[in-house]
Structures are given as C-alpha cells and as structure tokens.
Chain A
Amino acid sequence: MAIKANPTTRFKVEDQDPYFDYPADTEIGYHGGRLGFANGGSSSFDVAETPILGPVFRFFGNTQLGPIHMGVMGWIAFICGGAAIFFWLFGMAMLVSYDPIKFAKNFFVLHVDPAPAHYMLWGFGGGLEEGGLWMITTILLTTGLYAWWFRIWSRARANGLKPYLAYGFASALFLYTAIYWVRPMLIGNWSEAPPHGFKGVLEWTNNISFRYGNFYYNPFHMQVIFCALGSTLLLSAHGATIWATAKYGSHEELEEIHEPGTGTERAQMFWRWTIGFNANAYSIHVWAFGFAFLFGVVGCIGITLTGTFIPDWPQWAQDASIIPPQNPPPNVYVPNPITNM
C-alpha cells in the first residue's frame, strides 16, 4: 500500500474492497480519497500538524458537536451565519428603537436596506442605518455560505465520496452571488440588491419584475419555473415509485444500481408501460441532480441579464415574436397562409 492507513480513519477501505487501488486516487489528485492531508481528513488544513497552532486547530478542526462535524470551515460557517443573523435582527430592532413589542409586531415587515441609490457603489452608504448594516450582514452571510460550501465539499472528500452535493450547492451559490453581488456591481448600484427581511425580499421580487417590464416574459425566468415545477414533479414521481416498490427492496438504491432486483425492475416497467421509456436506478438520479442544478444556473443567467443587458423583457419578447405587439400595427391586409385569403 502506498499510503499507510491511519487508525483514526473511520473506514478501513483496504480491508473491504479487494480491488481498491491507492495510486489511482493520487492520479486524480486525491490522497486516498481524502483531501490534502494525511491524518484521515478531519480538518481542512495541514496546520493541524503544526506545533503552536496545532493544538488550537485540532480543538476546532477535530471536534464534533453531537453528531455534527465542525471543522474549521464549520466554525466559520456557523459563526458568520450567526453573526449575520445577529446584525440583521440588530438592524431591524434599530428601526423600532429596540422596542420588543414593536419589533415582534413588525417582525415580518421590517427590513435592513442596502445603501440608497445615490451612494452608487459605495456599499457602506451613509453609516450603519444607510446601508452599512446591510453590507456587514451580507458580507457575513456570504462568508458563511461559502464556508458551508467548502465544508460539504471537504466532508464528502473526507468520507471518500465525490462531492456532488457541493456541485449542487454551487449552483445555488451562483444564483445567490448573482443576485447579491454580481448584478449590483454590474449595474453599479447597491440599491439594486435585495434587502434583508421577509417583506423586503418579497417586495424586491415583486418590484424587480416591474422595473424591468415583466419577469414572466424573461425566458430564463420561464426556465427557472420549469426547473422548479419539473423538480417537484421528478421528486414526486421518483419518491412515489420507490415508495411503491419498497417492499421489493428498490429503496436500497446503492445496491440496486449495481445489481437491479425485482423492485427496480418493476419500477422500470411501470414507467416503460406508462410513458414508453424508463430511466434506471442510476440515471434517474442524474435527471434529478441535473434538474435541481439547472434551477440555480438558469436563474443566475436570468437575473444577471436583467437591467444590465436587457432593460425591458416584454419588449424583448415582442422583438422575439413570442407575444403580440402591445400597440397593434396598422390594419394591413395579410393573407392567411393556409387559406391564402
């Protein structure tokens, strides 16, 4: 064996898989299925082995809170996320002079706004009340989300899994980053970003649709809706199929993918006889992952184009001849292509 197995490793892979081959892992850039360090993948940095920071980082990097693995990125994610929530609530409380009853009454209405439009790209605006708190909250939130991404990526690696969940979460981060960072910077105005608060987010969603015509004519918005509804349909169809055939063991998917039994066969026959074709136990999850992934990617494209390259979606749809012109053209005689009359 090229790499010595560590006793702290949860899985003694070399004992279980006679075909396991360590050098193949180094070929694709990973060390025994683990990322970047030799101690079994419990931390994100080799700094855990250093003399001074080592004990500190081993404290943070090797702890688990209950069943939850923390790790450096976990601590960053939880602390930044908690701080973001604190500053958000602090900003909302400031608006009602820290009155707890008013705060509770207006909890769903209050929101922390980004800097007003005249500050342009100066994100901290005129101080805490005028965009500063929004910027602090957003920076913390973004740091937390990106740390969370790195956390699920490194946890997948540490468990010897390909980080598909991180790929999928990256799609959601594309959408988030486009909305909160890329688009405001492309337009050159932080006031284009959504505020933090329940009603504020709903109103931003409502208003961005109006400000750029009507989002129903945004073809990427159409595709996002298609992906959301299609994902719900796929989730329902897949879940129901497996639930219906679970008494034949089809829910043990990781076995059934490699060795389809009668449960998977019945599930496949159901869809073949119903819609004429069927996925298999593996490919249905490619469909699933693809639909969920496209949701974020297509949404990212649609929101980034809005107000930067496309100022008016109904006008775009009219130019593309997918809606009738709002002002009818002069009444000229046009023959019907079928009857030629």
Chain B
Amino acid sequence: MSELAHYVEVELVPGSRESRVPGGRTLKEIEADLKKPGKTLLGAITQAPGESDPFDVWLGPFYMGVFGLVGFVAAVCGAIFYLYEVVFHGPYLSYFSNFIAGSIIPPPPEAGLSFMVGPGNQGFVWLWVVGFATTAFICWLLREVEICNKLEIGYHVPISFGVVVSAWMTLQIFRPVLMGRWAEGFTLGVLPHLDWINLFGYRYFNFYFNIFHCLGITGLWTSTMVLGLHGSAILSGSQSRYGDEIDRVHQFWYDIVGYSIGELGIHKLATLLAAAAVLVSNLCVLFSGWIVMDWVSFWNWWVDMPLWVGM
C-alpha cells in the first residue's frame, strides 16, 4: 500500500480492520453479535439496566423502543386525520386523484395562534396533523439516538435528521409563531403544497432574488453533484480488478482537479454540505414576511452603496 492510500488518519477502535470478513457475514451472524438489550433512555431513567425496559424489543427487523411505540401511534393518528381529509373528502371521486389533489388548509388568519379550532372548522385537521407529525418526527429522532447507543456509534445520523426536522418546524411552527398566526403554515397535500410554495414565493415579490433561496438551491444542486461524484468514484474503484484501486481513485482526482479529499473527508463534506443546504433554506423562509417584506427591494443596499450611489 502506497502513501496515497488512507492518508486521512483516524483513531480506529482496536480490532476493527481485523474484523473484516471476505464477502461479509450473514444478517443472522451480525445480529447475533450486535442485537443486545439495554442502553435505552428509559432503562437509564429507571436506573435498572437490561431487560427492565419493556419496550426494548425488535419487531421483525425494526427496533421499537418507547419512542418507536409513541412515534408509531402518533404517525398512525396523523395518517388517519390526513387520509380522512385528503383522500375520503377530496375534490374528486377517485381516491388516487384525491391523494394527489386533496388538501389540508391551516386555520384562517383570524384564529391567530389559537388551538380552539373545533371539528369541521378550517384548520382543525391541519393542527392535529402537524401536531402528530411533529411528535412522530421527534420520536423517530430519539429512536435513532437509542439505536446509535446500542450500536456504539456516533450521533451523526440523528443530528442530520434533526436538521431536516428543523426545516419542518421552521415552516410549520417557528415562523407561524413569530408571525402570530397558524395561517402562515403551509397547506398539506401533494399538489396543494406546491401551490403554497408557488404563492409564497411571489407573495414576497420574487423568491429567486432571495439570497438564502439562492444559496439553498445552490446547496441542493451541489449536494446532488457531490453525491454523483462520490457514488461514481466508489463504483469505479470497487469495480477495478487491480489491487491498488485506492491509489487509482486518488490519482484520478489529482489528475482532474488537483486534489483528492480522501475517504473520510468526503463523508464529512457530504454531511456538512447537505446540512448547510437545509439550514440556509430555513433562513430563506424564516426571514420572509417580517424581516424582509420584498426580496427585490431587499437589494437596495447594494444599489445604494457609497461607491456608486450616484451612478
């Protein structure tokens, strides 16, 4: 192995490389090693480790845990409300068309931030679906934390998932609360939420001139490109029949762009880039409507810079 390979040094847990098995082990063998009770949050609270947590079980391939149970109940309840409104009371006769076209509208602006929206009124279903969905998302995140604890790995996936949940909560909770009315939340439904996005962009004149929207779109496209770069590099490297494919992949990137980020580096870049894209996109929505009313005249600060203000 040359000096090019594995030049990103990581402190490995002893025995990690020695655990490699050509062709890999079966699921049964892996799970016999790793599927063990304990290390749950409920067990830590009750101070009785091990089997004392009644929810510390697997259902088929799924790990349940207390958060799995609560999250599943919340997801089912939310789905019942959602399907009732969208599919069974949609605009069309066909259930499929209703699934695409049906909508759940938030409460009217007059309702403000009130939860006192009765059944049958506009926004009743919306409030319940948003509440159940948020509960389910947070439970899913905590369930991932428990699985990370069981596997003794880092919390990177739950943290990244938390970034996505932050986008949902920014749109449906934080910004409506800051604006003082649930009506600011987005309409639920496959196509109606597209209509909402469309109208939302032009409500503040033009979202294309929203700098955070620009950066968010750039982040999404760059994420797609990086995904293609990494996927293609590993596919070509793993299909090489030479013994030194790592050197070859590094040399390929040196040839193309003069730089190779490395095996761990690309995954760090991936995690941070995707998170940054979503977090910047949060800002583009969060600032609209109370800090910035109009993303076209937002750029007056550029036009009025002292260097060229008279020109």
Distance between Cα atoms of A293 and B277 in the complex (Å):
20
B191 CB to nearest chain A CB (Å): 5
Q: Which of A161, A257, A286, A293 neighbours the largest number of chain B CB atoms within 10 Å of its CB?
A: A161
Mark the stretch among A133-141, A186-194, A270-278 that contacts chain B.
A270-278
B42 CB to nearest chain A CB (Å): 17
Which of A231, A243, A317, A322 is the one whose CB lies under 8 Å from B156?
A243
Which of B252, B259, B275, B311 is the one whose CB lies under 8 Å from A236?
B275
Distance between Cα atoms of A167 and B273 in the complex (Å):
23
Which residues of chain A are near B254, meaning CB under 8 Å?
A: 67-69
**Nearest 5 interchain pairs by C-beta:** A239-B270, A292-B228, A288-B231, A289-B231, A236-B274
Contact code string A161-183 (vs B, CB < 8 Å = 1, else 0): 11111011101100000000000
Q: Tell me whether A273 and B157 are in contact in the complex, defined as CB-CB below 8 angstroms, given that A254-B237, A261-B21 are known contacts.
A: no
Interface pair B240/A280, CB less than 8 Å apart:
no
Q: How large is the interface on B (under 10, 10 to 19, 20 to 34, 35 or more residues)?
A: 35 or more
* Chain B residues in the interface with A (C-beta under 8 A): 6, 8, 10-13, 15-25, 27, 30-31, 33-35, 58, 60-63, 88, 91-94, 97, 100-101, 143-144, 147-148, 150-157, 159-160, 163-164, 191, 194-195, 197-198, 206, 208-209, 214, 219-221, 223-249, 251-252, 254-259, 263-264, 266-275, 277-278, 302-303, 305, 307-308, 311
Which residues of chain A are near B267, meaning CB under 8 Å?
A: 238-240, 242-243, 246, 251
Other CB < 8 Å A-B pairs besides A69-B255, A229-B220, A257-B234, 20 of them? A13-B244, A17-B241, A68-B254, A69-B256, A104-B307, A105-B311, A158-B255, A160-B242, A216-B197, A236-B270, A239-B266, A239-B271, A243-B268, A245-B153, A247-B154, A252-B17, A265-B19, A289-B231, A292-B224, A322-B97
A291 contacts B by Cβ under 8 Å: yes
Interface pair B232/A167, CB less than 8 Å apart:
yes
Interface pair B232/A254, CB less than 8 Å apart:
no
Chain A 216-243 interface residues, beta-carbon cutoff 8 Å to B: 216-217, 222, 227-229, 231-243
Report 16 cross-chain contacts, Cβ distance below 8 Å, ordered by A residue: A13-B243, A68-B258, A199-B209, A203-B208, A217-B191, A222-B194, A228-B221, A228-B223, A233-B274, A239-B271, A240-B156, A240-B157, A248-B16, A253-B234, A323-B101, A324-B91
A98 contacts B by Cβ under 8 Å: no
